[in-house]
Amino acid sequence: MKRIPYLQKAPSIHLRKQTMKNTFLFSLLFISFITQAQLNLIQYVKPIIGTEKMGHTYPGATVPFGAVQLSPETDTISYEINGKYNGDVYKYCAGYKYEDKTIVGFSHTHLSGTGHSDLGDFLIMPTQGKLQLNPGTAINPKSGYRSTYSHANEVAEAGYYKVKLDDDNILAEMTATTRVGMHQYTFPKSDESHIILDLMAGIYNYDEKDVWTYVRVVNDTLITGYRQTNGWARTRTVYFAMSFSKPFTQYGQKNYDDKQAYRGFWRKFDQTKNFPEIAGKKIRMYFDFKTEEAEKIKIKFALSSVSQENALENMQAEIKDWDFEKVKAQAQTSWNKELNKIAITAADDIKVNFYTAMYHTFINPTVYNDINGEYKGLDQNIHNANGFTNYSTFSLWDTYRALHPFFNIIQPSRNNDMVKSMLAHYDQSALHMLPIWSHYSNDNWCMSGYHSVSVIADAIIKGVFNGDENQALEACITTANHRNYEGIGYYIDLGYIPAEKLPKS
């Protein structure tokens, strides 16, 4: 039986844990710690769970704590209608809604389980026949590039997603590494096969969200660029490198920006077709192929917070060839390894509940540095994660009570790095605050309190944090003394926050 590290190191904590022995989780930990042989536990993971109604999970492919979450969108509705909040957008926090009958495409970034949203970057959709660059509507999917699909033709596993797109009879498959999404599309024979890259699609999207987009077509298989948005994360840029397994025959784009008075000298070019340098706010691109019957076209799509070059380096480091099955197997092995940290004896339906929940606990936070260690910090400067892995996506008011304490037991090394990531965030903070909700080189400031302090204190007390405890203490004290943040001043003075002063009290 493998023991959890901090229990080996910190017997006093071990004693405290004994007082918890009646709890379900604790019993599991002690009853069922894993043996050396890896059980096949990913069979119990059903990523489709939680995708209906307000579950806000996504069914697509990611690896544990992966920076890429490659998953289908079943609609990309606007955050606003006539300048007012569109309540329906809330249903699409994770991009996918089980009840929907169409798929718009597959994008590379998703939040799991949140009650607010963002992301949905770089939506890719394969089509055939007449090129359509608008997504069309759910009621009339033929009016755009979206497609009907059926759950009968859909497979969602840990690290793998597959669906048949009925409109053009294209099989879509996807898997991922930490920083790279891999697509595999099996086309019917056609002289008019397309792969659409929608650079203006997004989750919680609205007119002003697309701040800037830049794309370089480096050659007939490689595209790089970035997308810059102003959303939940206020100042956010995601760089990408996209590689096709087969050269496209031609490509083009349409710019959906509002017309502006100044047009500059780029107007001398026909930028709509085979023009290799593209920029604007709202851009959709397409790449054309001739396909044989059942021909597979694969895409590697890598992300970086730092640069196009880093995205390309991430791609080259993490997926060296075009073996989709190998990448899928690696992704699933990595999931199985994580899930094997706890073995339970139970009926299969309980195992499905348990391991799918465990799967969900290992999706966020997400790795937020490139393969070379670089990442864009909260100060919008480039930093190097020296001696730790940098994480983002800290929804701390959700995670301080159970997730991070659980990580102290089951993911101590990662939780150590998460605390270090929080301290780096603090060092980079113009407000001198630990993260409230760390989100792609931003704090999105969602919610009150200072729950990172609980996470840090817990990691220190349990011996998981191996960094500078005094530095951590200073960050905690400074954060906890921000009188003007969400009623902290009242709390310091009165011991409570008066409800009449602050609704969130």
List contacts with its own copies (CB under 8 A): 79-80, 83-85, 204, 206-209, 211-212, 214, 216-218, 226, 228, 230-232, 234-235, 258, 260-262, 264-266, 268-269, 276-277, 279, 307-309, 379-382, 430-431, 437, 444-447, 486
Q: Specify the 3-state DSSP secondary structure of 42.
A: helix
Cβ-based nearer residue to its own copies, 330 or 392: 392
Task: For residue 226, give both structure tokens.
Answer: 């970035």
Report the nearest approach of its own copies to the CB of residue 264 (Å): 6
The answer to whether 465 and 6 are in contact (CB under 8 A) is no
Report the nearest approach of its own copies to the CB of residue 452 (Å): 16
Report the nearest approach of its own copies to the CB of residue 236 (Å): 10
Report the nearest approach of its own copies to the CB of residue 486 (Å): 7
Cβ-based nearer residue to its own copies, 215 or 464: 215
Cβ-based nearer residue to its own copies, 291 or 429: 429
Closest CA to 172 of 180, 189, 159, 160: 160
Report the nearest approach of its own copies to the CB of residue 404 (Å): 21
Cβ-based nearer residue to its own copies, 70 or 217: 217
Question: Strands (DSSP E) along 236-390, which ranges?
Answer: 236-244, 250-255, 277-280, 283-291, 295-304, 366-367, 374-376, 382-384
Task: For residue 21, give both structure tokens.
Answer: 């022995």
Report the nearest approach of its own copies to the CB of residue 260 (Å): 4
Cβ-based nearer residue to its own copies, 107 or 444: 444
Report the nearest approach of its own copies to the CB of residue 461 (Å): 30
Task: Give exposure, 270-284, as e/b (b: 16+ Cβ within 10 Å).
Answer: ebeeeeeebbbbbbb
Residue 345 to residue 358: CA distance in whole angstroms: 15
Cβ-based nearer residue to its own copies, 274 or 353: 274
Report the nearest approach of its own copies to the CB of residue 58 (Å): 21
As a residue count, the chain comes to 505
Beta strands 160-165 and 170-176 are: antiparallel
Cβ-based nearer residue to its own copies, 84 or 130: 84
Residue 202 to residue 192: CA distance in whole angstroms: 26
Cβ-based nearer residue to its own copies, 378 or 455: 378
Closest CA to 255 of 224, 279, 287, 223: 279
User: Which ranges of 139-261 does DSSP label H, i.e. alpha helix?
Assistant: none
Residue 466 to residue 468: CA distance in whole angstroms: 7
